[in-house]
């Protein structure tokens, strides 16, 4: 578990994201072990806390899917993208998942600004920070 995030908060986030990934893995159809590999781009540096959380999430998904879905986390600098590119690169399937702050996509997806949990002061969970995780 990454430092600075309580076990309960991490467990809640990880469980929610694992459920999404397991459902997504089932939606792609039958495959043998390790046949499904997803790229997950985060604009955070390799040693930043969000990247550590994303890597822990990727391990949880791999375990939850019995190794059927493997998510490879790429941090800033490992792929030729910027934070503002995340929505486009997920939408064009250059990566399957991306981490994006609402501010980078507010103009492209204004509906995100209407979600009550999109603002940190309204977050139902102290671990929520106003960031979104998007998957193709």
pLDDT digits (tens, 9 = 90+) for 108-136: 887 877 776 655 555 555 555 555 555 55
Residue in 38, 40, 9 with CA at minimum distance from that of residue 129: 9
- For residue 26, pLDDT over 90 is answered with no
Is the pTM of the predicted complex or chain greater than 0.85?
no
Give the residue, 8 or 74, on which the prediction is more confident.
Answer: 74
Give the residue, 20 or 91, on which the prediction is more confident.
Answer: 91
CATH of domain 7-135: 3.40.190.170
| Token pair 């671990």: residue | 127
For 7, half-sphere exposure in the C-beta direction (CA atoms, 13 angstrom radius) is: 0
Helix intervals (H) in 82-127: 86-91, 102-105
Mean pLDDT, rounded, for 67-93: 92
- For residue 83, pLDDT over 50 is answered with yes
Q: Packing angle between helix 7-27 and helix 49-64, nearest 10 degrees?
A: 50
CA distances for 117 relative to 2, 44, 55, 62, 95, angstroms: 23, 22, 24, 28, 26
Distance CA 3, CA 34 (A): 30
- For residue 105, pLDDT over 70 is answered with yes
| pLDDT-based confidence at residue 5 (cuts at 50, 70, 90) | very low
CA distances for 80 relative to 10, 47, 72, 83, 99, angstroms: 29, 18, 16, 10, 15
């Amino acid at each position: 578990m990454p430092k600075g995030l309580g076990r309960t908060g991490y467990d809640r986030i990880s469980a929610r994201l694992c459920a999404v990934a397991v459902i997504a893995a089932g939606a792609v159809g039958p495959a043998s072990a390790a046949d499904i590999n997803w790229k997950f781009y985060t604009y955070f540096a390799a040693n930043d806390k969000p990247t550590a959380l994303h890597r822990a999430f990727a391990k949880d998904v791999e375990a939850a899917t019995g190794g059927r879905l493997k998510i490879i986390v790429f941090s800033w600098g490992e792929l030729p993208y910027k934070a503002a590119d995340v929505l486009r690169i997920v939408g064009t399937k250059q990566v399957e998942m991306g981490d994006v702050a609402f501010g980078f996509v507010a103009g492209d997806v204004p509906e995100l600004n209407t979600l009550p949990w999109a603002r940190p002061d309204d977050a139902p969970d102290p671990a929520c920070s106003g960031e979104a995780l998007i998957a193709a």
